[in-house]
Chains A and B, each alone.
Chain A
Amino acid sequence: NAGVTQTPKFRVLKTGQSMTLLCAQDMNHEYMYWYRQDPGMGLRLIHYSVGEGTTAKGEVPDGYNVSRLKKQNFLLGLESAAPSQTSVYFCASSFSGTKGEAFFGQGTRLTVV
Protein backbone atom coordinates (compact mmCIF):
# COMPACT_ATOMS: atom_id res chain seq x y z
CA ASN A 1 0.00 0.00 0.00
CA ALA A 2 1.20 3.49 -0.86
CA GLY A 3 -0.64 5.09 2.09
CA VAL A 4 -0.37 8.88 1.82
CA THR A 5 1.59 10.25 -1.12
CA GLN A 6 2.63 13.88 -1.49
CA THR A 7 3.72 15.55 -4.71
CA PRO A 8 6.22 17.19 -5.15
CA LYS A 9 8.81 16.38 -2.49
CA PHE A 10 10.84 19.53 -3.00
CA ARG A 11 10.10 22.88 -4.61
CA VAL A 12 11.68 26.32 -4.82
CA LEU A 13 9.39 29.25 -5.63
CA LYS A 14 9.98 32.90 -6.22
CA THR A 15 7.98 35.39 -4.17
CA GLY A 16 4.60 35.94 -5.80
CA GLN A 17 4.52 32.66 -7.71
CA SER A 18 1.71 30.18 -7.23
CA MET A 19 1.74 26.42 -6.83
CA THR A 20 -0.39 23.46 -5.81
CA LEU A 21 0.65 20.62 -3.55
CA LEU A 22 -1.11 17.33 -4.14
CA CYS A 23 -1.94 14.77 -1.51
CA ALA A 24 -3.35 11.36 -2.39
CA GLN A 25 -4.40 8.56 -0.03
CA ASP A 26 -5.46 5.03 -0.89
CA MET A 27 -6.93 4.03 2.50
CA ASN A 28 -10.47 5.28 1.87
CA HIS A 29 -10.12 7.76 4.73
CA GLU A 30 -12.80 10.39 5.29
CA TYR A 31 -10.60 12.96 6.99
CA MET A 32 -7.62 14.70 5.43
CA TYR A 33 -5.33 17.42 6.77
CA TRP A 34 -2.59 19.80 5.75
CA TYR A 35 0.01 20.78 8.35
CA ARG A 36 3.11 22.90 8.19
CA GLN A 37 6.19 22.16 10.28
CA ASP A 38 8.61 24.88 11.30
CA PRO A 39 11.56 24.58 13.71
CA GLY A 40 10.43 24.90 17.32
CA MET A 41 6.78 25.27 16.32
CA GLY A 42 5.71 21.65 15.97
CA LEU A 43 2.99 20.91 13.44
CA ARG A 44 0.34 23.53 12.87
CA LEU A 45 -2.90 22.77 11.07
CA ILE A 46 -3.52 24.80 7.92
CA HIS A 47 -6.78 23.37 6.57
CA TYR A 48 -8.63 20.12 6.85
CA SER A 49 -11.51 18.20 5.31
CA VAL A 50 -13.99 15.82 6.88
CA GLY A 51 -15.27 14.49 3.59
CA GLU A 52 -15.42 14.91 -0.16
CA GLY A 53 -16.48 18.43 -1.08
CA THR A 54 -15.91 19.86 2.42
CA THR A 55 -13.06 21.97 3.76
CA ALA A 56 -12.43 23.94 6.93
CA LYS A 57 -9.81 26.33 8.29
CA GLY A 58 -7.25 25.28 10.80
CA GLU A 59 -4.90 27.27 12.99
CA VAL A 60 -2.89 29.02 10.24
CA PRO A 61 -5.03 29.23 7.07
CA ASP A 62 -4.03 32.65 5.74
CA GLY A 63 -2.37 32.59 2.32
CA TYR A 64 -3.54 29.05 1.52
CA ASN A 65 -6.54 27.51 -0.18
CA VAL A 66 -7.62 23.89 -0.43
CA SER A 67 -9.95 21.68 -2.40
CA ARG A 68 -11.29 18.17 -1.92
CA LEU A 69 -13.06 17.30 -5.15
CA LYS A 70 -12.35 13.59 -4.80
CA LYS A 71 -12.29 11.60 -1.58
CA GLN A 72 -8.77 10.36 -2.16
CA ASN A 73 -7.20 13.74 -3.01
CA PHE A 74 -6.62 16.91 -1.02
CA LEU A 75 -4.96 19.86 -2.75
CA LEU A 76 -3.19 22.75 -1.05
CA GLY A 77 -2.73 25.93 -3.07
CA LEU A 78 -0.53 28.95 -2.58
CA GLU A 79 -1.83 31.78 -4.73
CA SER A 80 1.02 34.24 -4.15
CA ALA A 81 3.93 32.69 -2.29
CA ALA A 82 5.73 34.64 0.43
CA PRO A 83 9.04 33.87 2.18
CA SER A 84 7.06 33.24 5.40
CA GLN A 85 5.58 30.21 3.69
CA THR A 86 8.97 28.53 3.51
CA SER A 87 8.30 25.35 5.47
CA VAL A 88 7.86 21.60 5.34
CA TYR A 89 4.29 20.68 4.51
CA PHE A 90 2.71 17.43 5.61
CA CYS A 91 -0.50 15.87 4.49
CA ALA A 92 -2.28 13.35 6.69
CA SER A 93 -5.45 11.31 6.62
CA SER A 94 -7.55 9.35 9.10
CA PHE A 95 -10.77 7.45 9.43
CA SER A 96 -13.72 9.42 10.71
CA GLY A 97 -14.29 9.33 14.44
CA THR A 98 -11.96 10.57 17.11
CA LYS A 99 -10.15 7.36 18.04
CA GLY A 100 -8.32 6.96 14.79
CA GLU A 101 -4.75 8.03 14.37
CA ALA A 102 -3.59 10.12 11.44
CA PHE A 103 -1.33 8.65 8.76
CA PHE A 104 1.26 11.02 7.33
CA GLY A 105 2.90 11.54 3.98
CA GLN A 106 6.64 12.05 3.60
CA GLY A 107 6.41 15.82 3.37
CA THR A 108 7.07 18.58 0.84
CA ARG A 109 9.96 20.91 1.49
CA LEU A 110 9.07 24.33 0.06
CA THR A 111 11.45 27.24 -0.14
CA VAL A 112 10.23 30.68 -1.19
CA VAL A 113 12.97 33.09 -2.25
Chain B
Amino acid sequence: AQSVTQLGSHVSVSEGALVLLRCNYSSSVPPYLFWYVQYPNQGLQLLLKYTTGATLVKGINGFEAEFKKSETSFHLTKPSAHMSDAAEYFCAVRGSGYSTLTFGKGTMLLVSP
Protein backbone atom coordinates (compact mmCIF):
# COMPACT_ATOMS: atom_id res chain seq x y z
CA ALA B 1 0.00 0.00 0.00
CA GLN B 2 1.09 3.55 -0.59
CA SER B 3 -0.24 6.93 0.54
CA VAL B 4 0.76 10.57 0.75
CA THR B 5 -0.09 13.24 3.30
CA GLN B 6 0.51 16.90 2.54
CA LEU B 7 0.35 19.07 5.63
CA GLY B 8 -1.53 22.29 5.00
CA SER B 9 -4.01 22.78 2.19
CA HIS B 10 -2.86 26.41 1.90
CA VAL B 11 0.51 28.01 2.62
CA SER B 12 1.03 31.78 2.46
CA VAL B 13 4.43 33.44 2.16
CA SER B 14 5.74 36.86 1.28
CA GLU B 15 7.79 37.40 -1.85
CA GLY B 16 11.43 36.67 -1.02
CA ALA B 17 10.59 34.41 1.94
CA LEU B 18 11.45 30.74 2.34
CA VAL B 19 8.97 28.29 0.86
CA LEU B 20 8.44 25.00 2.74
CA LEU B 21 5.76 22.54 1.61
CA ARG B 22 5.50 19.37 3.64
CA CYS B 23 4.98 15.84 2.35
CA ASN B 24 4.98 12.57 4.27
CA TYR B 25 4.52 9.24 2.59
CA SER B 26 3.70 5.68 3.47
CA SER B 27 4.97 2.81 1.40
CA SER B 28 5.53 -0.86 2.14
CA VAL B 29 8.34 -0.98 -0.44
CA PRO B 30 11.13 1.45 -1.39
CA PRO B 31 9.43 4.58 -2.67
CA TYR B 32 10.01 6.78 -5.63
CA LEU B 33 8.82 10.31 -4.88
CA PHE B 34 7.70 13.20 -7.05
CA TRP B 35 6.62 16.81 -6.75
CA TYR B 36 4.36 18.32 -9.37
CA VAL B 37 3.13 21.89 -9.84
CA GLN B 38 -0.20 22.92 -11.32
CA TYR B 39 -0.87 26.45 -12.53
CA PRO B 40 -4.50 27.58 -12.94
CA ASN B 41 -6.39 25.76 -15.68
CA GLN B 42 -3.38 23.70 -16.66
CA GLY B 43 -2.15 20.14 -16.31
CA LEU B 44 0.50 18.96 -13.86
CA GLN B 45 4.17 19.62 -14.53
CA LEU B 46 7.00 17.71 -12.90
CA LEU B 47 9.15 19.81 -10.54
CA LEU B 48 11.53 17.10 -9.36
CA LYS B 49 11.78 13.45 -8.47
CA TYR B 50 13.69 11.11 -6.19
CA THR B 51 14.42 7.61 -7.39
CA THR B 52 17.73 6.41 -5.99
CA GLY B 53 21.08 7.94 -5.05
CA ALA B 54 21.46 11.44 -3.65
CA THR B 55 18.73 12.24 -1.17
CA LEU B 56 18.78 15.98 -1.90
CA VAL B 57 17.13 16.51 -5.24
CA LYS B 58 17.16 19.73 -7.23
CA GLY B 59 14.38 20.61 -9.62
CA ILE B 60 13.21 23.36 -11.88
CA ASN B 61 12.56 26.97 -10.87
CA GLY B 62 14.95 26.81 -7.89
CA PHE B 63 13.02 24.17 -5.95
CA GLU B 64 14.61 21.27 -4.12
CA ALA B 65 13.48 18.43 -1.88
CA GLU B 66 15.18 16.07 0.53
CA PHE B 67 14.26 12.42 0.94
CA LYS B 68 14.44 11.42 4.61
CA LYS B 69 13.74 7.74 5.00
CA SER B 70 13.77 7.80 8.80
CA GLU B 71 11.09 10.50 8.82
CA THR B 72 9.23 9.17 5.75
CA SER B 73 9.29 12.71 4.41
CA PHE B 74 9.98 14.50 1.16
CA HIS B 75 9.52 18.20 1.89
CA LEU B 76 9.78 20.78 -0.90
CA THR B 77 11.72 24.00 -0.36
CA LYS B 78 12.77 27.14 -2.17
CA PRO B 79 14.99 29.76 -0.52
CA SER B 80 13.20 32.81 -1.93
CA ALA B 81 9.60 32.86 -3.15
CA HIS B 82 8.64 34.65 -6.34
CA MET B 83 5.19 35.80 -7.33
CA SER B 84 5.26 33.35 -10.22
CA ASP B 85 5.53 30.44 -7.73
CA ALA B 86 1.88 30.86 -6.77
CA ALA B 87 0.27 27.58 -7.78
CA GLU B 88 -0.91 24.26 -6.39
CA TYR B 89 1.73 21.69 -5.53
CA PHE B 90 1.24 17.94 -5.37
CA CYS B 91 3.45 15.30 -3.82
CA ALA B 92 3.20 11.77 -5.23
CA VAL B 93 4.63 8.35 -4.42
CA ARG B 94 5.15 5.24 -6.45
CA GLY B 95 6.33 2.21 -4.55
CA SER B 96 8.89 -0.09 -6.10
CA GLY B 97 6.99 -2.62 -8.16
CA TYR B 98 3.86 -0.49 -8.36
CA SER B 99 2.61 0.78 -11.69
CA THR B 100 0.51 3.63 -10.32
CA LEU B 101 1.25 7.02 -8.76
CA THR B 102 -0.61 8.01 -5.59
CA PHE B 103 -1.04 11.73 -5.02
CA GLY B 104 -1.51 13.86 -1.95
CA LYS B 105 -4.41 16.29 -1.77
CA GLY B 106 -2.28 19.24 -2.77
CA THR B 107 -1.06 22.46 -1.18
CA MET B 108 -1.96 25.83 -2.62
CA LEU B 109 0.96 28.25 -2.35
CA LEU B 110 -0.03 31.90 -2.08
CA VAL B 111 2.67 34.56 -2.53
CA SER B 112 2.04 38.12 -1.43
CA PRO B 113 4.07 41.18 -2.46
Contact = CB atoms under 8 A, between A and B. Distances in A.
B61 to A, nearest CB: 16
A42 B32 CA distance: 19
B42 interface: yes
Interface of A: 4, 31, 33, 35, 40-45, 48, 50, 58, 90, 92, 94, 96, 98-99, 101-107
A50 B32 CA distance: 18
A24 to B, nearest CB: 14
Interface of B: 9, 32, 34, 36, 41-46, 49, 51-52, 90, 94-106
Contacts of A103: 46
Contact of A41 (B52, B97, B102, B105): B105
If over half of B's interface residues share one DSSP class (helix, strand or loop), that class is named, otherwise mixed; here it is loop
Query: What are the nearest 8 A-B pairs in CB distance?
Result: A42-B105, A104-B43, A99-B51, A43-B103, A104-B44, A106-B43, A42-B103, A101-B46
Contacts of B102: 45
A42 B91 CA distance: 10
A42 B101 contact: no
19 contacts: A33-B100, A35-B103, A42-B90, A42-B106, A43-B44, A45-B100, A58-B100, A90-B43, A92-B44, A96-B99, A98-B32, A101-B49, A103-B46, A104-B36, A104-B43, A104-B44, A104-B45, A105-B43, A107-B42
